[in-house]
């Protein structure tokens, strides 16, 4: 059971109260802050543990970091950027864009940076959230979690990993003081991050061992610089950029047919991926190793034109035997082979369905999010509210994730819903509001029904999309425009509400 924190002040600092507190300032928290300001709501704060806005785009600074979704779509609809220099932007350009948006909309002064939320409890007596942070205690009438799903690095539980004597760091915590030039390096993992890191460092290192547990499917990356006339057109011809955005959206959205509705249609993409394999991997032994054994789309589809050629380099080995242990200066595989290395890059993803943060947030009955998820599975309502957690909204909550198109589109859908919720709470003078269990259950029965036949469930792979109960609690299983229309207006009828602090239905 959760601890009940009753401190009224931490470190002798007074408890600060804000009507609304947003936690996290990546694409979702920042977008939410901008919308609140735009609708005239000034009584809010954004608590951000980092030293800047940007979230995952601030943290993931590894060599080669870039977006898998074209920039014209991977940006806010209210802040289109005609200046994108290429079709698929790299991390520095995306981070600069996010910083520019924060400045343009003047919301930085609402932020407290370097402020790490360490716990939050709903207090029934006051109908407020009590929040502990590295910068003291806060209270809020409404808490909005915008911490993202890809923020807590997942470090593999490999025997001896803590005893490694060389340099070791996670892809999302890149050590820029480390110079890999001329070194023997191991990369563990072959997911979206690793396949960008491997070609970016392969030429620089003396030797690179890439440890693959599951071969991913790779598709071509249609990346290119935008020509000056194109950029001028995006800037000066009304509608040009919106048209480009709409075209990207339509092409990406067509993948939903195969992913969620009729998985055999994924064979079209599989044929393209197999042709790419034949052309780019000439060595039959290597090709056999990198050929996936599940239907394309079951795990996230990756895009790269550089990964396979990097694996074919003289100084790069793909190791598929499975890691048995890590010793002082080597990695030992299950076949007994020991490979000496100077540095290990851990590109093993994030705690998505088991975030440590879930243990620090406790709701109406004192149970933490982790405990509620343990008992009933990771379920929410429209990805934005969870029963037992009154006056709290979630950006990128359960089943909001995507593998095929822009998360910013989903984020903006949630901004519509949650900002309307806030306006409704204020207009009706509500003190508590909590999504009803029956509404949440009904929503999830429909959701899991849609997921039953989808490629993520039937494609024959293991992925972090699934929780330990075997449910896909991560992905949205339909067209994204359906999510948009579902969240267009806040549906207060799905919630228990009260105008006094003591819980009572009105």
CB 480 within 8 A of CB 253: yes
Beta carbon of residue 89, minimum distance to ligand N01 (angstroms, whole number): 10
Nearer Cβ to ligand N01 (191/380): 191
**Coil/strand/helix, residue 108:** helix
CB atoms inside a 10 Å sphere around CB 369? 24
Nearer Cβ to ligand N01 (79/161): 161
d(CA 371, CA 354) in angstroms, rounded, equals 11
* Residue 50: its H or E element: none
d(CA 86, CA 323) in angstroms, rounded, equals 38
Of 464, 483, 490, 495, which lies in the binding site for ligand N01, with binding defined by CB under 6 A? Answer: 464
Beta carbon of residue 255, minimum distance to ligand N01 (angstroms, whole number): 15
Query: Is residue 474 within the footprint of ligand N01 (CB under 6 A)?
Result: no
Hey, which residues between 179 and 238 contact ligand N01 (CB under 6 A)?
188-194, 211, 213-214
Beta carbon of residue 243, minimum distance to ligand N01 (angstroms, whole number): 23
Hey, which residues between 334 and 393 contact ligand N01 (CB under 6 A)?
347-350
Distance, first Cα to last Cα, the chain: 30
Beta carbon of residue 177, minimum distance to ligand N01 (angstroms, whole number): 21
Beta carbon of residue 343, minimum distance to ligand N01 (angstroms, whole number): 17
Q: Is 15 left (phi over 0), alpha (psi -120 to 50) or beta?
A: beta
Nearer Cβ to ligand N01 (32/475): 475
CB 221 within 8 A of CB 69: no
Q: Quick one: DSSP state of residue 257? A: I
Nearer Cβ to ligand N01 (213/437): 213
Cα-based distances in Å from 323 to 84, 122, 319, 335: 41, 44, 9, 9
Query: What are φ and ψ of residue 429, in 5° steps?
Result: 65, 40
Nearer Cβ to ligand N01 (205/290): 290
Nearer Cβ to ligand N01 (311/430): 311
CB atoms inside a 10 Å sphere around CB 179? 11
Hey, which residues between 283 and 302 contact ligand N01 (CB under 6 A)?
300
Per-residue x/- marks for ligand N01, 300-329, CB under 6 A? Answer: x----------------------x------
Hey, which residues between 52 and 71 contact ligand N01 (CB under 6 A)?
67-68
Hey, which residues between 245 and 274 contact ligand N01 (CB under 6 A)?
none
Count the helices and strands in the chain (H runs, E runs).
15, 20
Q: Quick one: DSSP state of residue 437? A: H
Of 50, 156, 309, 503, which lies in the binding site for ligand N01, with binding defined by CB under 6 A? Answer: 156
In 75-202, alpha helices (H): 91-104, 194-202
CB atoms inside a 10 Å sphere around CB 346? 24
Beta carbon of residue 70, minimum distance to ligand N01 (angstroms, whole number): 11
Nearer Cβ to ligand N01 (68/478): 68
Nearer Cβ to ligand N01 (105/483): 483
Nearer Cβ to ligand N01 (150/273): 150
Beta carbon of residue 492, minimum distance to ligand N01 (angstroms, whole number): 33
User: Which burial class, exposed, middle or buried, applies to 3 when counting CB atoms under 10 A from its CB (0-12, 13-18, 19+)?
Assistant: exposed
Count of chain residues binding ligand N01 (CB under 6 A): 22
CB 71 within 8 A of CB 94: yes
Applying CB under 6 A, the residues found at the interface with ligand N01 are 67-68, 150, 156, 171, 188-194, 211, 213-214, 300, 323, 347-350, 464
């Amino acid at each position: 059971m959760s601890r009940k924190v009753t401190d009224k002040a931490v470190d002798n600092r007074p408890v600060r109260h804000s009507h609304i507190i947003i936690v996290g300032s990546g694409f979702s928290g920042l977008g939410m802050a901008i919308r609140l300001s735009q609708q005239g709501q000034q009584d809010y704060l954004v608590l951000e543990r980092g030293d800047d806005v940007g979230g995952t785009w601030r943290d993931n600074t590894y060599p080669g970091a870039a977006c898998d979704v074209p920039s014209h779509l991977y940006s806010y609809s209210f802040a289109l950027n005609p200046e994108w220099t290429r079709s698929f932007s790299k991390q520095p350009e995306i981070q600069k864009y996010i910083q520019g948006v924060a400045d343009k909309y003047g919301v930085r002064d609402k932020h407290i940076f370097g402020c790490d939320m360490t716990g939050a409890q709903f207090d029934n007596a006051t109908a407020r959230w009590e929040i502990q942070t590295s910068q003291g205690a806060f209270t809020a009438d409404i808490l909005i979690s915008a911490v993202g799903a890809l923020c807590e690095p997942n470090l593999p539980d490999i025997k001896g990993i803590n005893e490694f004597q060389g340099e070791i760091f996670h892809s999302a915590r890149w050590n820029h003081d480390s110079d890999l030039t001329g070194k023997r390096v191991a990369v563990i993992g072959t997911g979206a991050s690793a396949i960008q890191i491997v070609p970016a460092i392969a030429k620089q290192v003396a030797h690179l061992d890439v440890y693959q547990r599951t071969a991913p499917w790779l598709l071509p990356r249609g990346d290119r610089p935008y020509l000056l006339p194109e950029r001028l057109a995006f800037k000066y011809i009304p509608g040009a950029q919106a048209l480009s955005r709409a075209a990207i959206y339509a092409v990406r959205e067509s993948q939903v047919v195969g992913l969620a509705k009729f998985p055999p249609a994924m064979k079209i993409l599989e044929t393209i991926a197999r042709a790419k394999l034949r052309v780019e991997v000439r060595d039959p032994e290597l090709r056999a190793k990198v050929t996936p054994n599940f239907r394309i789309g079951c795990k996230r589809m990756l895009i790269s034109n550089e990964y396979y050629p990097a694996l074919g380099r003289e100084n790069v080995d793909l190791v598929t035997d499975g890691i048995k242990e890590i010793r002082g200066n080597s990695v030992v595989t299950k076949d007994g082979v020991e490979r000496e290395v100077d540095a290990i890059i851990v590109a093993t993803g994030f705690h998505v369905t088991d975030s440590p943060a879930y243990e620090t947030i406790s709701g109406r009955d004192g149970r933490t999010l982790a405990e509620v998820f343990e008992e009933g599975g990771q379920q929410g309502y429209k990805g934005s509210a969870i029963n037992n957690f009154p006056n709290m909204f979630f950006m990128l909550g359960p089943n909001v994730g995507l593998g095929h198109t822009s998360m910013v589109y989903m984020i903006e859908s949630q901004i519509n819903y949650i900002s309307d919720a806030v306006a409704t709470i204020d207009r009706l003078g509500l003190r508590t509001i909590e999504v009803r269990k029956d509404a949440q259950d009904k929503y999830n029965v429909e959701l899991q029904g849609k997921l039953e036949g989808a490629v993520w469930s039937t494609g024959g792979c293991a992925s972090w999309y699934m929780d330990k109960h075997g449910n896909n609690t991560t992905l949205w299983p339909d067209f994204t425009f359906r999510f948009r229309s579902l969240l267009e207006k806040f549906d207060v009828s799905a919630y228990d509400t009260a105008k006094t602090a003591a819980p009572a239905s009105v």
